[in-house]
Amino acid sequence: MNEDTPRPKTLTSDPNILRKIKHKQFMRQLIPLIIVAAALVLNVIYPIYWLLYPALAAFAWYLLERMLYRTKNKIPVPQETAFVSPVDGKVQSVHQGEDATLLTIKKSWFDVVEVRLPYPGLQMEQANEWKFETPKGSIDVHIKTSKQEFFNDFSTHGQVIGLMPSNAVFTFYIPVGIKVLVQPKQVVFGGETELFSLAEDAETEEEPPSILVEPIAEEDFK
């Protein structure tokens, strides 16, 4: 980008990707809508009060799917040197190891469905194993989740690159010396919250904390 060109203030989600997510949402909502319609029609033909119960249950199912597939249309443009959170969620732990700092973020079922590109240059050999080559070393990301889907465009920093309508845990393996900018229990937002800076003059971490907030149960991913 030319230095004289004003940097955009907001990043708008790719409409093609949003359409794909909304199509997934529609297909998930179709069955409960059919059940609601069928129950109401049968109740008109055969006025039996208990037919309203499956209609109410199906309508609750419909609302749940609508909530699970929420998205954000616009976010602030990330700074070029910022490694941002890929998802909405909460920081679970920051732990200093001998070779790397481990940062863990948990996404819940009720966080927005979208996954955003945290930094340019994503190398994805497998959907749950990411690698970034940065000016301050290689950063690896391991993802644990039951449902995920990724799209092919990994070119725009902060852009939506996939969807994850489930719980997920992201573990970041960060080279020693990079200062982590978030704390345990902190709520983070996909594409917006800076996890750490990769600027050449960014402050380094001398003695990062080692804190575990809460254990992550295996049943969260079933």
pLDDT of 103-136, one tens digit each? Answer: 999 999 889 999 999 999 899 878 899 999 998 8
CA distance 88 to 115: 8
CA distance 22 to 69: 8
- % of the chain surpassing 90 pLDDT: 47
Give the confidence band of 204 by pLDDT, cuts at 50, 70, 90. low
For residues 33 and 221, which has the higher predicted lDDT (pLDDT)? 33
Tell me the three state secondary structure of residue 18. helix
DSSP 155: -
Q: For residue 134, what are the CA distances in angstroms to 12, 15, 159, 203, 208?
A: 25, 29, 18, 16, 20
| C-alpha of 214 from chain center | 20
pLDDT at position 4 = 53
Q: Among candidates 27, 106, 102, which has minimal Cα distance to 65?
A: 27
175, 103 Cβ separation under 8 angstroms: no
Cβ count near 197 (within 10 Å) = 17
pLDDT at position 139 = 95
pTM assigned to the model: 0.80
pLDDT in tens, 18-56: 899 899 899 989 999 999 988 888 888 888 778 788 889
